[in-house]
């Protein structure tokens, strides 16, 4: 999964059905640090997940289950990322953090983020296919 394709997918706003407000595309410049990119990206995913699947009709539980599920995933990813930052900080400051703990924290954050992105891509793909079928 490369950064370029994530960026263009988000900027094109392809996931959103017409009639719903498009999210603002990400403006990233060269050399944007990875942490802020991730924060922006997760924020975008969170927005899109809730916007794309917000129930238009009452009495639906499945969509809100999914919304809860997606929000939970994003929360978990953010929690793991802040763990990673904290653990790395401890190592760099030389107080109370071992190298392997920091490496593990970073890997957990990275792998879970990858999962999040792949899931989002699957959702995007599915929505796009279905939209194509209807029209």
Partner 1 sequence: MAHAFRILRVDFKHPLPGMIPALFNDAQYQTLRALLDVSFARHAALAGNVANVNTPGYRRQDASPVFQQELTRAIEARDVSKLHSLVPQIGIDSSAAPARMDGSNVNLEREMVEIAKNSAQYEVSAALISKRYQMLRAAITGKT
Partner 2 sequence: MSINLIPGIDSAGSALSAERVRLNVVANNIANASTTHDINGKVYRRQMVVFESVLAQQAAGSQVSGSGTAAGNQVRVREIMEDPRPSKSVYMPGHPDANEQGMVPMPNVNIAEEMVDMITASRSIEANVQVITTAKQMMQRAMEIGKR
Q: Under the rule (CB under 8 A), what is the footprint of partner 1?
A: 1, 17-19, 53, 55-57, 60, 62-63, 65-66, 68-69, 72-73, 76-77, 80, 98, 100-101, 104, 107-108, 111-112, 114-116, 118, 126-127, 130-131, 134-135
Nearest residue to 12 (alpha-carbon basis) of 21, 1, 24, 3: 24
CB 99, min distance to partner 2, A: 5
Judged by CB under 8 A, the stretch of 23-31, 54-62, 76-84, 85-93 that binds partner 2 is 85-93
Binding-site string for partner 2 from residue 92 to residue 121, where x marks contact by CB under 8 A and - marks none: xxxxxxxxxx-xx-xx--x-----------
Measure the CA–CA gap between 68 and 35, rounded to whole angstroms: 24
Measure the CA–CA gap between 93 and 96, rounded to whole angstroms: 9
């Amino acid at each position: 999964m490369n950064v370029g394709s994530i960026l263009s997918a988000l900027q094109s706003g392809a996931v959103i059905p017409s009639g719903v407000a498009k999210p603002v595309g990400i403006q990233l410049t060269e050399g944007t640090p990875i942490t802020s990119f991730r924060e922006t990206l997760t924020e975008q995913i969170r927005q899109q997940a809730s916007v794309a699947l917000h129930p238009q009709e009452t009495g639906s539980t499945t969509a809100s289950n999914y919304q809860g599920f997606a929000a939970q995933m994003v929360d978990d990813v953010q929690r793991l990322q802040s763990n990673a930052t904290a653990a790395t900080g401890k190592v760099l400051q030389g107080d109370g953090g071992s190298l392997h703990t920091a490496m593990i924290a970073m890997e957990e954050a990275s792998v879970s983020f990858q999962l999040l992105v792949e899931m989002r891509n699957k959702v995007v793909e599915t929505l796009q296919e279905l939209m194509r079928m209807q029209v």
